[in-house]
């Protein structure tokens, strides 16, 4: 597991300027195993009611007890995944089961849709208006089923998957605010979700069904949402694929596009399609060039493709998930193509990310920085930040760099 | 109209340190008449389709053509109000009628609810999920009816008012995401709206009906939402008035509370209730002390009453409406009570606001600054900023200071 000769300084995550990318694998492994997973194990379990607290202050203190379904599901997924991929640590399995039990007991409405949030003791707070709750619940039970096979877990995952497929063209259902027919936009998350989910469920739904999703997602993302004249991916386009000159249509979400590109690189690897890998790597690098803040460093959260003011007031903030997903994409891009721009950018994003997001004092990482890279919110977890992007990214970078 | 002997510098809005508050009235008057109203007259009219563009870049250039009903209504209200209160400028009346025609033609669904937004040519984009669209439409037609009386305008205003009253306990209707019964919170906007609206409609619904709303709003705001042990107003409380230890329950919105306090001071004046005025003035000052950023100046957008991280990523930003509403509240507080803290704070907030928000180069004011007071978005108008808070506040401060 990584080079033991590497001199790392866990306090500052410093590495010698001559350190190769391959030698850096170890600091990712150690951060995952020594800081991130222990933090969540220690602070997020609700021993009284089951499930997880995710609103954790800098030092792990619980500051809000609501249970957000995205993060319940992601926590279950994470500990199941690490148990399967790293080592069969019984504490990790116990942690995953702890959340899964709570989700099974309280998480769904009568139609099997997953609520958006619950009280600490499991009473529904916010209706299932958000299909990502279902996506992460589905991922959770599929991953748990891999390490502790159970017909019930399979059924939870499969029922939820079919429900998502049924809702895919009208994800918000009753809660849709847009007037039908005037400006029908499609968002590029949807094909990504289905592909992502189907891969997670491959042991349940079979390789054939998984493979049936891939051409559609590759086409949608790489031909429809990707704009060759810009070299960039738009977050929303008209249903016919054309540009919409509106706040939504002009929106760039660099982190989302970059995350999608490592996903497409993985699909390219699965299909042995080098041209696809190379195209995804180039789009990822274009997005990074466009999204990088030349003045203060870090990747912007949102931009308007025409340079107009975005409607998101948080547009210039630097978010944890954007930066760690970029590290995964750069590591994978470098491993797959050897493109030196990936190495150059990996070092730049690594330095920025470890310096600004990591909290050497209390463990885990900050989630929200202002444009200057100063901590905007002291939380380690909240309504949207849980145990997911950082551990998944540390794992992916570790495993990718290790093989270089 | 203000003292002609006052030496002002419109480029920097400087005033002699010895300038009395009364003498400052004139710079508010001039900014309103020479910068703000001309900017909207010049840039926001859609001559082709009717209605107003509100997404205006720093120099007035239209960067998005969607029509947001809040801002259509507010623009109509503003030009009607100024026509009535300042001078019968025919251009102002024409401007108000220009938007009112568009609203009448395209603004409502079959049940008379006002859409949230329309395309430039009036096709519905976003459903009437937001009762404030109705509130501002109601205000618009009531104000227009005062300067150009019409049975149709009266009916538009009255029908909308009754519709709001009918929807008041379930404002989001079908679009409500919170699960019924688990955590029923009430927001303090609602009683304020009704009271505000009823005053705007006094010439239509009569003084008796207006007076029937006032005790309820005063009780709700000053007894239920106001927390004597904190000296502050909470944005949301449980239906029984108790504290909810949740993101919503812990939320402080200083600008909203401060705006409400000048409104209550006006009610106190109407009822000749000096104790109420004094209480409102004290709450306003407490809120300002609590909400003021001791490090960089300016008033925070959101705070958590327990000091936890708020869920709003924009919590530390400085917004135009918060600061101009504070100027109104301080001017009115000073005029009504003579409290020296009002004068001290008026000068502090005046200096911050004129220095950071005002754009001496292109006219009008910026809307969104980061914590340090630097421009975050260059826009002069957008999805939420239109021709409303600044002109209304400049007018209110001008008229209040003029009488000191």
Percent of chain A with pLDDT over 70: 97
Are residues A314 and B313, on separate chains, in Cβ contact within 8 Å? yes
CA angle A181, A184, A186 (to 5 degrees): 155
User: Which residue in chain B is spatially nearest to A66 when comparing CA positions?
Assistant: B246
The model's pLDDT over B357-399, given as tens digits with 9 standing for 90+, comes to 999 999 999 999 999 999 999 999 999 999 999 999 999 999 9
What is the per-residue pLDDT for B255? 97
Are residues B379 and A179, on separate chains, in Cβ contact within 8 Å? no
Are residues B308 and A57, on separate chains, in Cβ contact within 8 Å? yes
Q: How far, in Å, CA of B135 to CA of B351, rounded?
A: 32
Q: What ipTM was predicted for this assembly?
A: 0.94
Contacts 24+ apart (CB under 8 A), B129-133: B129/A177, B129/B172, B129/B173, B129/B174, B129/B175, B130/B70, B130/B172, B131/B164, B131/B167, B131/B168, B131/B171, B131/B172, B131/B193, B132/B70, B132/B193, B133/B69, B133/B70, B133/B73
Which chain A residues are closer than 8 Å to B125 by Cβ?
Answer: 178-179, 182-183
Average pLDDT over residues A113-126: 97
Q: How far, in Å, CA of B86 to CA of B282, rounded?
A: 31
More confident residue, A174 or A10: A174
The model's pLDDT over B16-46, given as tens digits with 9 standing for 90+, comes to 778 899 999 999 999 999 999 999 999 999 9
- The DSSP call for residue B308 is P
Average pLDDT over residues A280-288: 98
Are residues B368 and A313, on separate chains, in Cβ contact within 8 Å? yes
* Residue in B66, B64, B67, B59 with CA at minimum distance from that of residue B43: B59
* Confidence band, pLDDT 50/70/90 cuts, at residue A175: confident
Average pLDDT over residues A230-237: 97
Which chain A residues are closer than 8 Å to B108 by Cβ?
Answer: none
The model's pLDDT over B245-273, given as tens digits with 9 standing for 90+, comes to 999 999 999 999 999 999 999 999 999 99
Per DSSP, the three-state class of B166 is: helix
Are residues A246 and B66, on separate chains, in Cβ contact within 8 Å? yes
Q: How many residues does chain A have?
A: 404
Size of interface A-B (CB pairs under 8 A): 105
Cα–Cα distances (Å) from B261 to B102, B267, B308, B313, in that order, read 34, 10, 25, 26
Q: Is 0.80 topped by the overall pTM?
A: yes
Min Cα–Cα distance to chain A from B314, Å = 6
* Contact in structure between B134 and B164 (CB atoms under 8 Å): yes
Ordered alpha helix ranges (H), A292-356? 320-337, 340-356
Average pLDDT over residues B149-157: 98
Best mutation target, B180, B313, B379, to test chain A (most A CBs within 10 A): B313
Are residues A123 and B182, on separate chains, in Cβ contact within 8 Å? yes
The model's pLDDT over B293-312, given as tens digits with 9 standing for 90+, comes to 999 999 999 999 999 999 99
A382 touches chain B (CB under 8 A): yes
> Is the pLDDT assigned to residue B189 strictly greater than 90?
no
* Residue in A192, A212, A362 with CA at minimum distance from that of residue A262: A192
């Amino acid at each position: 597991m990584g080079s033991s000769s590497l001199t790392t300084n866990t306090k500052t995550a410093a590495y010698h300027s001559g350190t190769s990318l391959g030698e850096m694998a170890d600091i990712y492994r150690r951060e995952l195993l020594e800081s991130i997973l222990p933090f969540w194990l220690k602070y997020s379990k609700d021993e009284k009611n089951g499930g997880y607290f995710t609103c954790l202050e800098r030092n792990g203190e619980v500051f809000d007890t609501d249970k957000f379904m995205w993060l319940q599901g992601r926590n279950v997924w994470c500990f199941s995944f690490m148990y399967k991929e790293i080592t069969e640590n019984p504490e990790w399995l116990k942690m995953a089961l702890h959340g899964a039990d709570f989700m099974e007991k309280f998480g769904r409405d009568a139609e099997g849709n997953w609520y958006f949030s619950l009280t600490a003791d499991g009473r529904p707070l916010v209706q299932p208006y958000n299909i990502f709750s279902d996506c992460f619940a589905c991922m959770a039970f599929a991953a748990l089923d891999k390490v502790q096979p159970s017909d019930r877990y399979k059924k939870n995952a499969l029922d939820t998957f079919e429900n998502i497929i049924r809702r895919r063209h009208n994800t918000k259902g009753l809660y849709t605010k847009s007037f039908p027919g005037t400006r029908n936009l499609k968002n590029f998350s949807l094909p990504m979700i289905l592909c992502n989910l189907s891969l997670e469920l491959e042991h349940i739904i079979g390789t054939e069904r998984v493979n049936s999703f891939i051409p559609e997602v590759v086409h949608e993302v790489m031909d429809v949402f990707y704009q060759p004249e810009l070299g960039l991916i738009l977050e929303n386009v008209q249903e016919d694929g054309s540009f919409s000159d509106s706040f939504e249509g002009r929106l760039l979400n660099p982190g989302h596009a970059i995350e999608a590109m490592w996903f497409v690189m993985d699909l390219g690897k699965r299909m042995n399609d080098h041209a696809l890998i190379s195209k995804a790597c180039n789009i990822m690098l274009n997005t990074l060039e466009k999204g990088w803040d030349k003045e203060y460093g870090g990747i912007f959260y949102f931009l308007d493709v025409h340079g107009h003011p975005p409607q998101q007031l948080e547009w210039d903030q630097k978010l944890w998930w954007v930066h760690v997903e970029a590290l995964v994409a750069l590591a994978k891009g470098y491993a797959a193509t050897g493109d030196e721009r990936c190495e150059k950018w990996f070092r730049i994003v690594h330095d920025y990310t470890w310096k600004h997001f990591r909290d050497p004092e209390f463990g885990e990482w900050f989630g929200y920085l202002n444009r200057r890279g100063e901590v905007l919110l002291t939380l380690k977890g909240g309504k949207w930040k849980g145990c997911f992007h950082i551990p998944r990214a540390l794992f992916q970078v570790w495993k990718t760099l290790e093989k270089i």
